[in-house]
């Protein structure tokens, strides 16, 4: 039997911009993506702690070290620059492997720079 578990969590991320003129996704600084064990194109759930919005989209890579967290397309209507968001990815794991699994949690600080791994 497969179980769905939270694989990665980025917390304390601050939206730095938005662009309605795009098909849709969330742009995330490449260093953050790598630290969180995420990849471009991966499905994410975005939870906006400021307005309660929760949506599903996919990652596009922003320049490494930029600190960018940008909402694109329809997602841009679900948050504003300065809003804090939590970004989650999930995976499917065989039930017998759950005890060897550890979720990756990344906490961001000033300018969306990684504080912990």
90 classed as catalytic: no
Q: Are 110 and 15 in contact (CB under 8 A)?
A: no
pLDDT in tens, 6-62: 999 999 999 999 999 988 799 999 999 999 999 999 999 999 999 999 999 999 999
Of 25, 35, 66, 90, the active-site residue reads 25
Q: Are 59 and 38 in contact (CB under 8 A)?
A: yes
Q: Are 11 and 104 in contact (CB under 8 A)?
A: no
DSSP conformation letters of 18-55: EESSSS-EEEEEHHHHHHTT--TT-EEEEEETTT--EE
Average pLDDT over residues 95-106: 94
Q: What is the pLDDT of residue 115?
A: 86
Please tell me the pTM assigned to this model. 0.94
The total domain count for the chain is 1
66 classed as catalytic: no
Of 4, 8, 22, 58, the active-site residue reads 58
Percent helix, percent strand, percent coil in the chain, to nearest 5: 20, 50, 30
Structural domain span for residue 112 = 2-116
Q: What is the pLDDT of residue 23?
A: 80
Residue 18 is part of a domain; what is its CATH number? Answer: 2.40.40.20
């Amino acid at each position: 039997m497969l179980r769905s578990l939270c694989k990665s969590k980025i917390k304390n991320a601050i939206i730095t911009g938005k662009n309605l003129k795009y098909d849709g996704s969330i742009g995330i600084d490449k260093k953050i993506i790598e630290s969180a064990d995420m990849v471009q194109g991966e499905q994410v759930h975005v939870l906006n702690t400021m307005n309660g919005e929760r949506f599903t989209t996919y990652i596009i890579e922003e320049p490494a070290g930029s600190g960018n967290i940008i909402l694109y397309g329809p997602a841009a209507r679900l948050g504003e620059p300065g809003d804090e968001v939590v970004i989650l990815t999930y995976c499917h794991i065989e039930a017998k492997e759950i005890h060897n699994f550890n979720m990756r949690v990344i906490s961001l600080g000033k300018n969306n720079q990684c504080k912990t791994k």
